[in-house]
Each structure stands twice: as structure tokens, then as C-alpha cells.
Amino acid sequence: MIRLHTLSSSRALRNPVVRVLLALLGLALLSVVLALGVVVGMLMIGFGLLRRVLSQKAPAANTSGNVIDGEYRVVGNGKASLAR
């Protein structure tokens, strides 16, 4: 019969070979996760740069001076209101 208090006890391992093997296993797992994170980060940066290059538009042909063309609409009743 399995006792619950034996599963949750935090006894340190006494065998030095097992301790070293578990430490090496932990370092290997940590390095795999780190390498995976670096690869995913590089893929995200590459995808962003590729998307930026592919979505560049040609410059507009009729741009002259500092003119901004747009449509404007008056919102509200035209009186400035102070929020207090």
C-alpha cells in the first residue's frame, strides 16, 4: 500500500551517482528548453522582417511638398468643454 506522506516527503538522494545523473538530466532539459526558445525567437524575428519586406508599398507618385490630404468631421456641438 502506498502512503501519501512518503510521496510528498522531500528526502535528499543519498547516492551520489543518482544525484549527478539527475543534475545532468536537469541541465540537459534546461539547455533544450533554452535552445528551443532561441529558435522560436529567431523565427519570430525572421517572420516579422520578411512580412515587412513583402508588404512594402511603392511610394505615391503625386506627393509634392508637405501636403496632407484627408477628410475631417466636426464632432460634438463645437463648444470646448472642461472636464472637472
pLDDT band of residue 67 (cuts 50, 70, 90) is confident
Q: Is residue 45 part of a domain?
A: yes
Domain of residue 44, residue span: 15-54
Q: What's the whole-model pTM score?
A: 0.51
Q: What is the pLDDT of residues 14-58, one digit of tens each?
A: 888 999 999 999 999 999 999 999 999 999 999 999 999 998 876
Write down the pLDDT at residue 71: 86
* Domain assignment of residue 37, yes or no: yes
Residue 69 to residues 33, 44, 59, 75: CA-CA distances in angstroms?
A: 51, 35, 15, 19
| Structural domain total, the chain | 1
82 lies in a domain?
Answer: no
Is the residue at 63 inside a domain? no
